[in-house]
Amino acid sequence: MKNHLQFLALVLGGLIVLSPLTIIFLTSLAPSGSTATPDFSWSSLTLKNYWQAWQKGNFLLAFANSTLVALSVTALQVITASLAGYALARLTFRGRRTLLLIILATLVIPFQLLVIPIFLVLKWGNLINTYGALILPTAVNGFSIFLMRQYFTTIPIELEEAGALDGANRWQILTQIMLPLARPALVTVFLFTFIGEWNDLFKPLVFTTRPELTTVQLALAQFQEQFTSNWSLLMAAVIIATVPVVILFLIGQRQFIQGISTTGIKN
């Protein structure tokens, strides 16, 4: 009986969560030009809205820019988080705990508070209106470093000692032993970073003005301004912008769950 109640509760919760998404999807299939009460009759549903939204929103350029920026930031964060996380987990040096606390303290500072000094630094480096302005400000992230550090502490140190006895140096131990074992954490960092960058509107809105640097979220915001009364096109554009990260999460969800569940709070 208890299992049945839990199952019903999960089904009910799933229906509550999926109902808004279902409405968005059906609205995107309604005839173009529908307003607050789109026609949901099966005979009138159409896929033309997706093609119109793709063309009018210039999403091809936006997808290319967002993919480039998201992959670049993700690659930099994976590298920096792996190196810093391993150093904080395994190397012994003065001020290690203090450095970890400083990194954790950065998590409570909103990016918006840092936008003015970051803007000035980017302007000094002539990086405004370049890809560098969209990539460099988030190339390092305290959460990614902390997550990698926590996962490295779960790996038995005996594996490193065995590698050292075989003549492996620190770099070989990290790249050939630790990183392959830390795959769930790496996937978690990848997903968090990529999805965060894909959904980011603030950086392209503040640091760029060139149309050729338009990202998906900026294109979606501009699209919403142009078609405020055409709900069918709006919902189609929302789904176009959302589908890539949903597919990416579904592909990596198993590694993501494993990375989160095995990363606890350790000293």
Return the residue matching tokens 């019903």: 8
pLDDT at 171 over 60: yes
Residue of 193, 196, 218, 206 whose CA lies nearest to 118: 206
240 and 51 Cβ atoms separated by less than 8 Å? no
What proportion of the chain, given as a percentage, has pLDDT over 90? 36
The pLDDT of 87-113, averaged and rounded, is 89
Q: How many CB atoms lie within 10 A of CB 42?
A: 6
SS3 category, 103: helix
Residue 207: its pLDDT value, please?
93
CA torsion 133-138-140-143 (nearest 10°) is: 180
pLDDT of residue 265 exceeding 50: no
Angle at the Cα of 161 from the Cα atoms of 159 and 164, rounded to 5 degrees: 115
pLDDT of amino acid 196: 92
The string of pLDDT tens digits covering residues 36-92 is 555 555 556 777 888 888 888 888 999 999 999 999 999 999 999 999 999 999 888
Give the residue among 141, 146, 145, 131 at the shortest CA–CA distance from 72: 131
- Could you read off the pLDDT of 201-257 as tens digits, one per residue? 999 999 998 989 999 999 888 888 776 677 888 888 889 888 888 888 888 777 767
Question: For residues 58 and 212, what is the distance between their CA atoms, to the nearest angstrom?
Answer: 10
The predicted pLDDT at position 58 comes to 86
The answer on pLDDT for 200 being more than 50 is yes
User: Residue 74: which of 243, 193, 220, 233 has the closest Cα?
Assistant: 193
Q: List the domain boundaries for the chain.
A: 23-261
Residue 132 clears pLDDT 90, i.e. is over it: yes
Mean pLDDT of 26-39: 65
Name the residue among 162, 171, 20 with its Cα closest to residue 91: 171
Q: What is the DSSP string of 58-104?
A: THHHHHHHHHHHHHHHHHHHHHHHHHHHHHHHH---TTHHHHHHHHH
pTM assigned to the model: 0.85
CB 143 within 8 A of CB 113: no
Structure confidence at residue 32 as a pLDDT band (50, 70, 90):
low
For residue 140, pLDDT beyond 90: yes
Is residue 33 scored above 70 in pLDDT?
no
Per-residue pLDDT, 73? 96
Neighbours of 161 (CB within 10 A): 11
Tokens in use for 36? Answer: 């607050």
* Per-residue pLDDT at 258: 64
Fold of 23-261: MetI-like fold (1.10.3720)
**Predicted pLDDT of residue 190:** 92
pLDDT confidence of residue 112: 86
Across the chain, mean pLDDT equals: 85
Triad 152, 138, 259: Cα angle to 5°: 30
Q: Say if CB 142 and CB 103 are below 8 A apart.
A: yes
